[in-house]
Structure 1
Amino acid sequence: MTGKIIGGIIGAMVAGPWGAVIGATIGHFSIDSKSGEGAGQNQFLILMCEASAKIAKSKGVIKKEEIAELESIFKELRLDSEARKRAIGYFRSAKNSPRSLNEIAEDFAAHFPSLDARQTFITVLIRIALADGALQSEEMRELRMACAALKIDPSILSGLGGTRNSSSSAHSSSESQDLAEAYAVLGVKPDASLDEIKTIYRKKCKDLHPDVLRSKGLGEFAMKAIEAELVKVNDAYERIMKARR
């Protein structure tokens, strides 16, 4: 129960698909699960790894960059060695599973109906898809179908598409993806006005201020996660301001 409460607090404060991971992490994967917390954590891992395998294999071959990104996500979720071993097993067994990503996403939404949980799920898929630096049409199609199954606005995929061949265009693509992520971290649309962006940024900084959060009695684990999120918010704001000069 404590995990759910903390996850709800943080998830509410940190808007946008990239920030939603914090809510799921602190909530120990049990956000709105129909089963117990332990079972909810395991179900989250199973579905996350199944979906990651599907999006990684959508181009035909799973690349080392995608595996590395999944390992990075495991670290962020602070999986212990046993949970990590199980997660890798789920990923491997899902590679040749007959289940489609759409079916997995629908299953996830049924088990974890909260918006924070669904945003977390699509965030993981986006990160895996972008791991090799080039979002292919097959990946975009799968992500759009996943958004529909999860009932998430597909506009979060804006600016992420397109395969580039030359080194200069690849660099441009990377910058575009970084900027799209920056807008997502702040929870604003790319066409938002400068005043709107500044207002939202200031509010986030206030909501994530350590003194404010300590008064809520959050533990050390939660505080470290929130401090990391505040760094992301500041970095995102700086990237957006730089792009708008």
Structure 2
Amino acid sequence: MVVMEELLERELQLGANGWLITLEKGWRWLQEIVRDMSLRLQAELEVEEGAIPLAGWLKDKSEDMLEIIWELEEGPDPRLDVCINWRRADGIMSVCKTLFNGGCDLCALLEDRLEGDIDGEEAHVATENERIWLQKIVRDMSLRLQMEPKVEGGAISLAGWLKEKSEDMLGIIWELEEGPDPRVDVCIDWRRANGIMSVCKTLFNEGRDLYALLEDRLEGVIDREDADMPI
């Protein structure tokens, strides 16, 4: 009987020590998260990282903090209460709550900052996507110029395709020239944005020249096809 009691007491003491270790791990983890958030707040966003991936990182860290504090607030197995050094445990828990509150404040500050940064990043992504689209249209026009119209498609079908591509180019360049929402101006890397815009204008001009060449060529082909049609 005495042996059983000793074993039980030892088991409870091990559990109590384990709970203190859990508290200390939570403390260190929260401390690390808060330190990282503080460093992020002081640092400028790096170009290769960008605001959008950083927002994902911030979300992960916020969820980590919540999981830690929820586990700690849930507390130990009630059977361990008599074996726990509550003075030490309460002291660690107090530090953890302070760290958690500090982390929440840092998270709010970073989120406020990122709102504008993400808008600026999305503006860059949108402009880059338009550049890629223009580049594809110009490439397709160049290839069409090198090819003879297929018999089954004919020049008339190709003329319809050319009209659609011309309208696509106009739609892209009009959207880009309209510019972003003025509220995100301060968040945009204008050197980068103006560089992409310059490329887009060059592509548009190239596409317009290709369009004129294709249109001139197609006029003659369409006239010949019309002449070959039986009356």
Q: Mark the structure with the bigger radius of gyration.
A: 2
Q: TM-score, normalised by structure 2?
A: 0.27
Q: TM-score, normalised by structure 1?
A: 0.26
Question: Of the two structures, which has the highest relative contact order with CA contacts closer than 8 Å and spacing of 6 or more?
Answer: 2
